[in-house]
Chain A
Amino acid sequence: MRKTLILFSRIRAWFTEGRANREFDDELEEHIRLLTERFMSRGMAAMDAADAARRQFGNSALVQQRQREARTFLSPAELWRDACFGARMLRKHPGSTAAVVVALALGIGTNACVFTFVNALLLRPPVGVKSPGELREIWQRNRSASGMSRYTPLTYPDYAYFRDRTKSFTGVIAYDGDPEPVLWSRSGRGEVVHGQFVSGNLFSVIGVGTALGRPFYPDDDQPSSPRPLVILSNTFWRQRLNADPNVVGKPITLNGTSFIVLGVAPPRFTGLEVAMAPDFWAPLSMSEQMLHDPGRLTSRFSHFLSVEGRLAPGQTTRSAQAETRVLASDLEKSYPESNKGEDDQIYSAAPVPGPYREYVAAFTGLLMAVFALVLVIACVNAAGLLMVKATGRAREMAIRSALGAARGRLIRQMTVESLLLSLLAGLVSVAFAWWTSRLLLNLVPANLPISLEIPIDWRVLAFTFVVALITGVTFGTTPALRGTRVDPVHVLKNENHADGFNKSRMRAVLMTGEVAVCTVVLFGAALCVRSLLNANSIDPGFDIDHVAIADLDPGSLGYSEKKADAFYRAFSARVQSLPGVVSASYVNHLPLDASREEGGIEKASESKSEDDFLHVDVFRVAPDYFNTMGIPILKGREFSQSDADRRTSAVVVNDTLARKLFPGEDPLGQLIKMPDGKALFQVIGVVKTGKYRTLGEEPVAVMYRNEIPSSRVIVVRTLGDPRPLLESLPRAAQQVDPNMAVTGAQTMRQFMSFPLFSARVTGLLLGAAGVLALILTWIGLFGVVSFAVSQRTREIGVRMALGARRSDVLRLVMRQGLLVTGIGLVVGIGCALAASRLLSSLLYGIRPDDPETIAAVVVGLTAATMLACYIPARRAARVEPTTALRYE
Chain B
Amino acid sequence: MGEKKPEVLQGTLDLMVLKTLHALGPLHGFGIARRIEQLSENLLELNEGTVYTSLLRLQQQGWIKSSWGASENNRKARFYSITRQGLKQLERETENWERFAGIVGRVLRLERQG
A: residues with CB less than 8 A from B are 23, 26-28, 30-31, 34-35, 56-60, 62-63, 66-67, 70-71, 406, 408
**Inter-chain contacts of B33 with A (CB < 8 A):** 31
Please provide the 10 A-B residue pairs with the shortest distance between their CB atoms, ordered closest to farther. Answer: A58-B47, A58-B49, A63-B49, A57-B48, A57-B49, A31-B30, A34-B30, A63-B52, A66-B53, A60-B49
In the complex, the answer to whether A27 meets B78 with C-beta atoms within 8 Å is yes
For the complex, give the distance between the alpha carbons of A485 and B49 in Å. 31
Tell yes or no: B16 within 8 A of A by CB. no
Interface string of B48-74 (1 = CB under 8 A from A): 111011001100100000000000000
Residue from A30, A62, A67, A408 in contact with B30 in the complex, judged by beta carbons closer than 8 Å: A30
With contacts A63-B53, A70-B56, A406-B60 taken as known, whether A56 is within 8 angstroms of B48 at the C-beta atoms is yes
For the complex, give the distance between the alpha carbons of A57 and B78 in Å. 17
A sample of 14 inter-chain contacts (CB < 8 A) reads A27-B52, A30-B30, A31-B30, A31-B52, A34-B30, A35-B48, A57-B49, A58-B47, A58-B48, A58-B50, A59-B49, A63-B50, A66-B56, A70-B57
Interface string of B18-61 (1 = CB under 8 A from A): 00000000000110010000000000001111101100110010
Known: A31-B33, A58-B50. 16 other contacts (CB 8 A): A27-B52, A27-B78, A30-B30, A30-B75, A31-B30, A31-B48, A31-B52, A56-B47, A57-B47, A59-B49, A60-B49, A62-B49, A63-B49, A67-B53, A70-B57, A71-B56
B51 CB, min distance to chain A CBs, angstroms = 8
A674 CB, min distance to chain B CBs, angstroms = 84
**Inter-chain contacts of B56 with A (CB < 8 A):** 66-67, 70-71
Q: How large is the interface on B (under 10, 10 to 19, 20 to 34, 35 or more residues)?
A: 10 to 19
Tell yes or no: B77 within 8 A of A by CB. yes
Residue from B29, B46, B60, B76 in contact with A31 in the complex, judged by beta carbons closer than 8 Å: B29
**Inter-chain contacts of B52 with A (CB < 8 A):** 27-28, 31, 63, 67
Residue of A nearest to B62 (CB): A408
For the complex, give the distance between the alpha carbons of A23 and B56 in Å. 14
In the complex, the answer to whether B50 meets A30 with C-beta atoms within 8 Å is no
**Inter-chain contacts of B75 with A (CB < 8 A):** 30
Main secondary structure of the interface of B (DSSP, over half): helix
**Inter-chain contacts of A34 with B (CB < 8 A):** 30
For the complex, give the distance between the alpha carbons of A406 and B60 in Å. 9
B: residues with CB less than 8 A from A are 29-30, 33, 46-50, 52-53, 56-57, 60, 75-78
In the complex, the answer to whether B49 meets A70 with C-beta atoms within 8 Å is no
A26 CB, min distance to chain B CBs, angstroms = 8
B2 CB, min distance to chain A CBs, angstroms = 16
For the complex, give the distance between the alpha carbons of A28 and B49 in Å. 8
In the complex, the answer to whether A27 meets B49 with C-beta atoms within 8 Å is no
For the complex, give the distance between the alpha carbons of A50 and B75 in Å. 20
**Inter-chain contacts of A62 with B (CB < 8 A):** 49
With contacts A56-B48, A70-B60, A406-B60 taken as known, whether A27 is within 8 angstroms of B29 at the C-beta atoms is yes
Residue of A nearest to B57 (CB): A70
**Inter-chain contacts of A408 with B (CB < 8 A):** 60
**Inter-chain contacts of A31 with B (CB < 8 A):** 29-30, 33, 48, 52
For the complex, give the distance between the alpha carbons of A30 and B49 in Å. 12
For the complex, give the distance between the alpha carbons of A408 and B60 in Å. 9
Residue of A nearest to B49 (CB): A58
**Inter-chain contacts of A57 with B (CB < 8 A):** 47-49
Residue of B nearest to A53 (CB): B48
For the complex, give the distance between the alpha carbons of A70 and B59 in Å. 10
**Inter-chain contacts of A66 with B (CB < 8 A):** 53, 56
**Inter-chain contacts of A35 with B (CB < 8 A):** 30, 48
**Inter-chain contacts of A26 with B (CB < 8 A):** 76
For the complex, give the distance between the alpha carbons of A41 and B29 in Å. 20
**Inter-chain contacts of B76 with A (CB < 8 A):** 26
B107 CB, min distance to chain A CBs, angstroms = 24
B56 CB, min distance to chain A CBs, angstroms = 5
For the complex, give the distance between the alpha carbons of A34 and B75 in Å. 11
For the complex, give the distance between the alpha carbons of A71 and B55 in Å. 12
**Inter-chain contacts of B78 with A (CB < 8 A):** 23, 27
B36 CB, min distance to chain A CBs, angstroms = 12
For the complex, give the distance between the alpha carbons of A797 and B46 in Å. 58
**Inter-chain contacts of B46 with A (CB < 8 A):** 56
**Inter-chain contacts of B47 with A (CB < 8 A):** 56-59
For the complex, give the distance between the alpha carbons of A62 and B50 in Å. 9
A751 CB, min distance to chain B CBs, angstroms = 70
**Inter-chain contacts of A63 with B (CB < 8 A):** 49-50, 52-53
B71 CB, min distance to chain A CBs, angstroms = 8
B54 CB, min distance to chain A CBs, angstroms = 10
B22 CB, min distance to chain A CBs, angstroms = 21
Instruction: Give the most central of A31, A35, A58: most B CB within 10 Å.
Output: A31
Residue from A30, A58, A67, A71 in contact with B77 in the complex, judged by beta carbons closer than 8 Å: A30
For the complex, give the distance between the alpha carbons of A871 and B21 in Å. 61
For the complex, give the distance between the alpha carbons of A128 and B56 in Å. 58
**Inter-chain contacts of B50 with A (CB < 8 A):** 58, 63
Residue of A nearest to B59 (CB): A70
**Inter-chain contacts of A70 with B (CB < 8 A):** 56-57, 60
For the complex, give the distance between the alpha carbons of A62 and B78 in Å. 20
Residue of A nearest to B33 (CB): A31
B26 CB, min distance to chain A CBs, angstroms = 15
